[in-house]
Structure 1
Amino acid sequence: MNTGSETQMGIIPPLFCIKCGLEHRLPILIMTAITEQAIQDCMTQIRQKQEPHHSLEIQKYAQLRLMDFAPLLGEWGIDDPKNTPKAKPLPNVAQAFQAAELSAEQKSKLLNYLQQAAKQGSTTAMLYLAYAYAVGKFIAQNPTKAVECARIALKHQDYRAARLLGEMLAFAPALASDVLQNDVQIAAQNWVKTHPKLAQNAEQIPQLITQYLHNPIVAKFVAKQKLQQAKTMGSPIADQRIRGLSMIGVLSSSQPARQYQSIENWLENQLAAAHMPIESDDDMMILPEHMPLMVQEDDDVPVWHKAAIVGGFLLSGAMITLLIIRFLVK
């Protein structure tokens, strides 16, 4: 697999400009070292069911390499008249991708052909380019470009692209920022304009957006949404995939809480909690409706449990005493 250069430029979620009334975004560039050793180490941790200690940038490279694309590649070789006419199979390309390795000249010809076919509107070519970028086959691995190619194919109404995005997000949740960032930023910016009171503390918003994009519950929810979109567009396999992935826990079988279903809900939930005054009394505190509660274990056994335990001991003692008396009388 090829990661290209040792260091790649990553873009964190753009920040809203406080001075300009939140009217535009400020892109902030960060340098993230993407090395083959780091990716391999992360892959080992994932295989061994360990918690990866690498950054999300490293994790998405590793997660994509570990993903099984075979079912997707198989579907791309089927000519489905119900799909867009731009989704015709490319049998020679499929055969080339089955090869373990190609010469430098063959790689160059293959990639040039795919790029030209994609420019001419072939969504199948776009999907093969997405796959090549996703895993680094015949080209430098680049998850961001993989998502871009799949999104272009989806704009051309190819249901296979919706399924590809859904499954990549399901098996590589670290890819969520690449899949969702543009849509989330636009939606958040519009929400801020219509909720000026809640958005008074603008410095919190970039952090809340990042938290939303990196939340695994959100990744599962959007992955399922993409597969449902593929089903709506006519995919004959999407519904089966949803059921299968839900059974093994890759997708959630139920709807998540409302706050995870959109960035608007997330911002409203988090910022409303911060702005809502807390009512207090001498003996109790009333939390506002939107205040997220921390899940914690019970510190003490409930009072009725204690009473039941004491009663049980007394009853047992009485029965034992009664048995002893009856034995002595005999």
Structure 2
Amino acid sequence: MQSPLPEKIPSEMQITDCMAQLVSKNSTSYGEVVQKYARLRLADFSELLKEWQNEEYAAKLGMPTLPQVAKMLHKGNVSPEQGKKLAAFLQQTAKQGNTTGALYLAYLCAKGLFIPQSLQKTAQCLRFAINQGDWRATRFLGELLIAVPLAARELVGDEIQAEATRWQSKNNHISSEKVEHSCRRFYDATPAIKFLARLKLEQAVQQGSPSAQQRIKGLSVLGELPSTMPPKQFQSISNWLDLQFLQPQEKYSPRADKDIVFLPDNIPLLPLGDDDEKPTWHKPAMYGLMLLVAVLIFTVLLQIVMRK
């Protein structure tokens, strides 16, 4: 497997213009590369920010809530100078092993606040906090995938690539290039990314999140998360690769989930008859034709009798 590709961050002008299009038209002429950064900036994570400063939750984690940081982010009118100091403070606290600092730093990276926007750096900060058992980071990663599925490659690419590498080592007759190409298609499979987002929220529940379970229920009702287990190939990259290379007759098209049309289960079927059965109008037509022939014969006979 190849090493992760370097992140291609669009220019500030492209991101800003794309955001304006999305807000005014709910669509954009920009491609996916620009869209994922623009959509992240537009995403609303205010409810998460409120939860992060909850003293009771933070005490269970053994971490401070950094209330001054929370207040500054909620105010939204931080000056550039204050923003630089805030970013520097969070970078320092994250280096010292403070998962709350890493969590807020991931938020700044995701939104492009006071520091350059970077999805890969967002993922790095979250991985550190997740490995420390911080359910806030796990929940945030799930929410990022829900808000912007296009960013899945940058946000969870490392763990998917690691699993794909293990799969390829067991199936080394498949080239790394082919496996990499198939992985790229996996990121475009909407059911796979939705299921992965659900797994992250479920992991947050197991780590102690008091609200992730309710969030799962709500998003499942809205269709943002799968309410049942998706087909096996969408449950992991290993299953996906099995289908792509070991069962090639069932290959998946990235657009398949969009093109499937589900019909109601109770549509009545038309009654089936014998192949030789005539249409319903056949018998009346035959009777009418026979009557017409009889009338013609009777008329001809009547004329012959009258001539005699």
Partner deviation per Cα, 1:172-197 (whole Å, 9 max, x = no partner): 11110112211111211111121234
Distance 2:122 2:72 in 1: 19
Matches within 5 A, 1:106-255: 106-197=82-173, 199=174, 201-255=175-229
Q: What is the DSSP-based 3-state SS (H/G/I as helix, E as strand, rest coil) of the residue aligned with 1:83?
A: helix
Which is further off, 33-42 or 209-218?
Answer: 33-42
Separation in 2 of the partners of 1:163 and 1:263?
21
Q: How far 1:202 moved relative to its partner?
A: 4.6
Counterparts of 2:56 and 2:199 in 1: how far apart (Å)?
22
Name the one with the larger helix percent.
Answer: 2
Q: Is the 8 A contact 1:136 1:142 kept in 2?
A: yes
Greater Cα radius of gyration, structure 1 or 2 = 2
Deviations 1:195-253 (A, max 9, x none): 234x1x55422210111123222211111101000001111100011111122222122
Task: Give the stretch that moved more between structures: 52-61 or 238-247.
Answer: 52-61
| 8 Å Cα contact 2:112/2:118 also seen in 1 | yes
CA 1:142–1:291 in 2, change beyond 3 Å: closer, same or farther?
Answer: closer
Residues 83, 159 of structure 1: 8 Å contact kept? no
Q: Provide the C-alpha distance between the structure 2 equivalents of 1:296 and 1:231, rounded to a whole number of angstroms.
A: 32
Take 1:231 and 1:317, find their aligned partners in 2: how far apart are those partners? Answer: 70
> In the alignment, what sits opposite 1:39?
15
2:49 to 73, 80, 84: 73
CA contact (8 A) 2:9 2:118 kept: no
Gaps of 5+ in 2: 262-268, 289-308
The alignment partner of 1:80 has SS state of: helix
8 Å contact 1:83–1:158 — kept in the other structure? no
Structure 1 SS opposite 2:230: coil
Alpha-carbon spacing, 1:46–1:313, altered in 2? closer, same or farther (3 Å):
farther
Amino acid at match of 2:242: E
**Equivalent residue letter for 2:166:** N
Q: Does 1:103 align with 2:79?
A: yes
Q: Give unpaired runs (5+ residues) of structure 1.
A: 1-15, 17-24, 275-287, 298-302, 323-330
Identity of aligned pairs, percent?
35
Structure 1 ranges of 4+ moved more than 6 A:
293-297, 303-306
Residues in 1 aligned to 2:3 and 2:117: alpha-carbon distance in whole angstroms: 27
- The question of whether the paired residues in 1 share the 8 Å contact of 2:168 and 2:179 is answered with no
Quote the Cα distance in structure 2 between the aligned partners of 1:223 and 1:45. 27
Rounded to whole Å, the distance in 2 between the matches of 1:39 and 1:207 is 27
Question: Closer, same or farther in 2 for the Cα pair 1:314/1:133, shift >3 Å?
Answer: same
TM-score by length of 2: 0.77
Q: Call closer, same or farther: CA 1:40–1:241 in 2, change over 3 Å.
A: same
Distance 1:44 1:217, change over 3 A: farther
The structure with the greater share of residues assigned to strand is 1
Q: Is residue 123–residue 156 contact of structure 2 (8 Å, CA) maintained in 1?
A: no
Match of 1:285 in 2: none
CA RMSD of aligned residues (A): 3.3
1:97-126 alpha-carbon deviations (Å, 9 max, x no partner): 123333333223222221222222222211
Greater shift in the superposed pair: 251-260 or 237-246:
251-260
CA distance in 2, matches of 1:39, 1:181: 22
